[in-house]
Amino acid sequence: MSKTWEHYDLAARHHERAAHEFKDAAKYHETEEHEKAAHHAYLAHGRNQHTIHHGNAAAKPHTAHCDSNETSAAEQEVNKKRAA
């Protein structure tokens, strides 16, 4: 598996865990267990930060790949014009 897909996979897992933590936080909030609710909200926030990190890490190689393809296409156009 490429690094890009590993980051996407990790981002998806962290997203699922964050959703679970938010669900637990809401459950504790309803039962007025505010310390537990705050703890789970804190954990969910951390998971979201990891999701963002892995999403950004996955986007970097993809962007670099797309930029290099655009450059190649531009170079091909220049070469065609020179040959003509």
Give the closest residue to 55 by CA, choosing from 23, 26, 14, 2: 14
Question: CA Rg, the chain, in Å?
Answer: 22
b or e along 41-65 (b: 16 or more beta carbons within 10 Å of the residue's beta carbon)?
bebbeebbebbeebbebbeeeeeee
59: phi then psi, degrees, rounded to nearest 5: -75, -30
Distance CA 80, CA 75 (A): 9
Residues 54-81 pLDDT 10s = 888 888 876 776 766 665 665 666 667 7
Residues 4-13 pLDDT 10s = 888 889 899 9
